Amino acid sequence: MIILRIFNRETFEVDEAVPSTNVTNKILARVIEYCKLHVEVPKAEDRTTKEDLKTFYVEFIKLFKSLCIS
Protein backbone atom coordinates (compact mmCIF):
# COMPACT_ATOMS: atom_id res chain seq x y z
CA MET A 1 0.00 0.00 0.00
CA ILE A 2 1.18 3.51 -0.78
CA ILE A 3 0.01 6.53 1.17
CA LEU A 4 0.07 9.90 -0.59
CA ARG A 5 -0.12 13.04 1.55
CA ILE A 6 -0.79 16.40 -0.09
CA PHE A 7 0.20 19.86 1.16
CA ASN A 8 -2.79 20.25 3.50
CA ARG A 9 -1.94 16.92 5.18
CA GLU A 10 -4.86 15.09 3.57
CA THR A 11 -3.88 11.52 2.75
CA PHE A 12 -4.88 9.09 0.04
CA GLU A 13 -4.24 5.34 0.18
CA VAL A 14 -3.49 3.45 -3.00
CA ASP A 15 -3.83 -0.33 -2.74
CA GLU A 16 -2.96 -1.30 -6.28
CA ALA A 17 -0.90 -0.02 -9.16
CA VAL A 18 -2.24 3.02 -10.95
CA PRO A 19 -1.41 2.85 -14.66
CA SER A 20 0.44 5.86 -16.00
CA THR A 21 1.06 5.31 -19.68
CA ASN A 22 2.60 8.76 -20.25
CA VAL A 23 5.11 8.73 -17.37
CA THR A 24 8.53 7.18 -17.82
CA ASN A 25 10.68 5.86 -14.98
CA LYS A 26 13.03 8.84 -15.42
CA ILE A 27 10.19 11.34 -14.97
CA LEU A 28 8.64 9.50 -12.02
CA ALA A 29 12.02 9.26 -10.29
CA ARG A 30 12.51 13.03 -10.66
CA VAL A 31 9.00 13.79 -9.38
CA ILE A 32 9.59 11.60 -6.32
CA GLU A 33 12.94 13.29 -5.76
CA TYR A 34 11.21 16.68 -6.03
CA CYS A 35 8.68 15.62 -3.40
CA LYS A 36 11.37 14.32 -1.06
CA LEU A 37 13.29 17.60 -1.32
CA HIS A 38 10.20 19.46 -0.15
CA VAL A 39 9.36 17.20 2.77
CA GLU A 40 12.20 18.73 4.74
CA VAL A 41 12.20 22.50 4.36
CA PRO A 42 15.79 23.76 4.55
CA LYS A 43 16.83 26.22 7.24
CA ALA A 44 17.25 29.78 6.02
CA GLU A 45 20.97 29.80 6.87
CA ASP A 46 21.72 26.47 5.16
CA ARG A 47 23.42 27.68 1.95
CA THR A 48 24.42 24.19 0.79
CA THR A 49 20.84 23.03 0.74
CA LYS A 50 19.71 26.19 -1.05
CA GLU A 51 22.35 25.65 -3.72
CA ASP A 52 21.38 21.99 -4.03
CA LEU A 53 17.74 23.01 -4.55
CA LYS A 54 18.71 25.56 -7.19
CA THR A 55 20.73 22.93 -9.04
CA PHE A 56 17.87 20.45 -8.79
CA TYR A 57 15.36 22.99 -10.13
CA VAL A 58 17.55 23.77 -13.13
CA GLU A 59 17.84 20.07 -14.01
CA PHE A 60 14.14 19.46 -13.33
CA ILE A 61 13.11 22.29 -15.66
CA LYS A 62 15.53 21.07 -18.36
CA LEU A 63 13.89 17.64 -18.23
CA PHE A 64 10.40 19.16 -18.34
CA LYS A 65 11.29 21.40 -21.29
CA SER A 66 12.81 18.49 -23.21
CA LEU A 67 9.57 16.56 -22.77
CA CYS A 68 7.44 19.47 -23.95
CA ILE A 69 9.51 19.93 -27.11
CA SER A 70 9.51 16.25 -28.11
- Name the pTM for this structure: 0.52
**Each residue of 49-61: pLDDT tens digit?**
777 788 888 888 8
The span from the CA of 32 to the CA of 46, in Å, is: 22
Per-residue pLDDT, 45? 62
pLDDT in tens, the chain (70 residues): 788 777 788 888 888 887 877 878 888 888 888 777 777 655 666 666 777 788 888 888 888 788 776 5
Per-residue pLDDT, 21? 78
One-letter-per-residue 3-state SS of 9-26:
CCEEEECCCCCCCCCCHH
